[in-house]
Structure 1
């Protein structure tokens, strides 16, 4: 079975939690896009793990984890993450971690350029809210053919690769010196950096497409793990406040390295409320007052897993969620963090947008989104701890009504509900 786990909203929906649960039955878990610009948080009996590049399946030692060709990989960050996981007694070796030779390398100068440009834009209030980790610049250079792929690290003695690095350095220096007034790079420092990465990562780099195609042909269970959500997709998201990659399920097998295949099952993940990290229009934060939002942020510990930045928060947005569901074509929906709402007397839900006085129910991805104001419906809270609920009938009536109202608004049933942060704190809705 080929299963994609994807985000319905802006990211941070709790995909890592769902991937961790589904990994118990998986043979392979594959990250197929993005870089270390977002994180997945998983809580197990061994502790709390924040994963930026490694798939959440790495917490299951029998699972083979793959970093696919659709990713951009910062080797420095990956090495640090591997070392941190080993420190926390997580098994990582070339047997259970494979890196695609076709994945794009996020170089130190990508990070440097990201920081410089975001600082320049911030002076005029036009910053994109970048994580400053070089992801957009690595993707940009991928399409301009001016960076390396992970497999190139295996052939640094080749004259072809040497000439390529020299061309890249010359091109980057034109930008760093002439645009930002920075000191130029040298070919030697870039080559030395590449050699250091190659020495550590060489055992992990392989043609993962061949590996996964063989696994698919044998009927193995392959789980595709997305980063961020549909509303951050480069094509379908709230452009230009998006990620630089395709976050939708249709891209899963392409970014994993097996383009002849397609996902047989898509699990869409959404929170019981709305959160957003970064800049751009976010209608949900207009739906409740600052006090309600502050309480929600504290109750849900809503701070970015990769950056630590406070997340923008608001009530559940049915308009945005319907659109995200359409983009992902999810057959199954997992609803996370329902427990965070347990202390609220009243819970708002966004049922529509009003733009220039006109009520709309379709999500706009253009400038109309900036002008949109939320139409809100108030629901009763349940005021009790639900973390021990393991069956649908264990939930308080108002919690059931809340879920059922969300199902009505998005036009789709929910199959899994997270009732707490721990691994076993969830229920399957029958």
Structure 2
């Protein structure tokens, strides 16, 4: 059984929460794209965990976790992340965590380039809102064939790898010196860095594609974990304000290492309201006052898991969500953070966009959305604590009405509803 868990919107929908629940019945959880430029937050009895690279299944001792070949991996960040969760009592061994030999290494210069370019753009007011973690530059060098893959760390004593390392360093020094007037990096220092990473991670590096194929042949349950959401997809998102990889479920088997395999299920994750980190068009934040948005931000703890940046917030956006749902082709929907709306007397919903005299109900990522304003419909709130509800019937009438209104707007049933941050604070809706 192969299931992908993907984001319907801009990311930060609560995928880690959903994957953590699915991991209770899973055998393998694999990340298939992205790097450490976003995070999943999971709350367990052992505390709060913010995971940037490690799959959310890492918190379950019986689950094998994989970082797939479609990822770009900052090994220094990964080492720190492993150390942090070990300090909270989580075991991480090569039996528990496997790294694809095909995954791209985020080299030391990728973060440097990201920071330098974002600073340059910021001076002209045209910054992309990058996380400054080098993700775009790692992917760029992947497609230029000017970086290493994890499997290369196992062959550092061989001439072909050393020759490539020298060639890419020469090219990178030309870029950094010519464009940003940086001092050149030395080959001995770079080789020493690579040797250190090899010493740390060689036991974890393997052919994860073969491992996944065998697991599926044996009838095991495999969950593929996406980072970010449909609006940040490099092809179908709000380009150029996207990530640098494909966040779409269809890419999941490719990035995980099993390109000839089809998905059995796709779980699309939606938040009960809209949030966004980074630059780019975000019609939802135009609908309500800044004080309303700040109150929602505080109630939901809406700060980036990877960066700590305040998230942009707004009402649930049905226009964008229908598009994201179409991109992900989700057959199941999980709705998160419904409890955050509990204090509101009335809850706004975005049912369309207005652009001049034109009313827009179909999202188009190439549209000039900066000139769109939201068309808002208000629905009654429930104004009572729902964090203790464990069945759909226990929810207040207006909370059920809100969920059913979303279902009508999306033309899709919602199966799972999160009513709090803890593992047990969710309920399933009978279909």
Same fold (TM > 0.5): yes
Superposition RMSD on alpha carbons, in Å? 0.6
Offset from partner CA, 1:284-337 (integer Å, 9 cap, x none): 000111111010000000000000000000000000000000000000000000
Q: Distance in 1 between matches of 2:146 and 2:285?
A: 39
Partner of 2:49: 49
What is the rounded CA distance, in whole Å, between the counterparts of 1:291 and 1:86 in structure 2? 40
Structure 2 SS opposite 1:245: coil
| 1:298-337 to 2 correspondences below 5 Å | 298-337=298-337
Map 1:163-202; keep pairs closer than 5 Å.
163-202=163-202
Partner of 2:215: 215
Describe how 1:351-430 pairs up with structure 2 within 5 A.
351-430=351-430
1:121 is paired with a residue whose SS is helix
**Counterpart of 2:29?**
29
Matches within 5 A, 1:51-90: 51-90=51-90
SS in 2 for 1:24: coil
C-alpha separation between the residues in 1 aligned to 2:314 and 2:110? 33
Matching of residue 233 in structure 1 with residue 272 in structure 2: no
User: CA separation in 1, counterparts of 2:163 and 2:307?
Assistant: 36
TM-aligned CA deviation for residue 267 of structure 1:
0.2
Q: In structure 2, list runs of 5 or more residues that go unmatched.
A: none
Encode CA deviations 1:24-76: one digit per residue, 9 max, x unaligned: 11010000000000000000011000000000000000000000000000000
CA offsets 1:241-286 (integer angstroms, 9 cap, x no match)? 0000000100000000000101110000000000000000000000
Partner of 1:121: 121
**1:356 offset after TM fit, Å?**
2.3
Deviations 1:343-400 (A, max 9, x none): 1111100000111220010002124222111000001111111000000110000100
SS state at 1:293 partner: helix
**Aligned match of 2:252:** 252
Number of residue pairs the alignment of both structures matches: 430
In structure 1, distance between residues paired with 2:272 and 2:417: 9
Partner of 2:109: 109
How far off is 1:407 after superposition?
A: 0.5
* Cα distance in structure 2, aligned partners of 1:262 and 1:65: 20
Q: Which TM-score applies when normalising by structure 2?
A: 0.99
Contact 1:392 1:427 in 2 (8 A): yes
User: What residue number does 1:154 align with?
Assistant: 154
Query: Which residue number corresponds to residue 282 of structure 2?
Result: 282
Contact 1:270/1:333 (8 A) holds in 2: yes
In structure 2, C-alpha distance between the alignment counterparts of 1:114 and 1:298, rounded to whole Å: 30
> What secondary structure sits across from 1:78 in the alignment?
helix
* Secondary structure in 2 matching 1:66: strand
Instruction: Tell me, in whole angstroms, the C-alpha distance in 1 between the residues paired with 2:314 and 2:177.
Output: 43
SS in 1 for 2:247: coil
> For 2:377, what is the secondary structure of its paired residue?
strand
Superposition deviation, residue 169 in structure 1: 0.5
* Alpha-carbon offset, residue 170 of structure 1: 0.4
Question: How far apart in 2 are the matches of 1:128 and 1:357?
Answer: 30
What is the alpha-carbon distance in structure 2 between the residues aligned to residue 157 and residue 407 of structure 1? Answer: 58
Give the TM-score normalised by structure 1.
0.99
d(CA) in 2 for partners of 1:368, 1:362 = 13
Q: Which whole-Å CA distance do the structure 2 matches of 1:44 and 1:127 have between them?
A: 37
| Alpha-carbon distance in structure 1 between the residues aligned to 2:39 and 2:194 | 25
Task: Say whether 1:16 aligns with 2:16.
Answer: yes
Distance in structure 1 (CA, Å) of the matches to 2:82 and 2:368? 43
Instruction: Judge conservation of contact 1:355–1:368 (CA < 8 Å) in 2.
Output: no
Q: CA deviation at 1:189?
A: 1.0
Measure, in 1, the Cα distance between the counterparts of 2:279 and 2:63: 36
Within 1, Cα distance between the matches of 2:22 and 2:187?
45
Cα drift, residue 171 of structure 1: 0.4
- Quote the Cα distance in structure 2 between the aligned partners of 1:330 and 1:367: 24
> For structure 1, which runs of at least 5 residues remain unmatched after alignment?
none
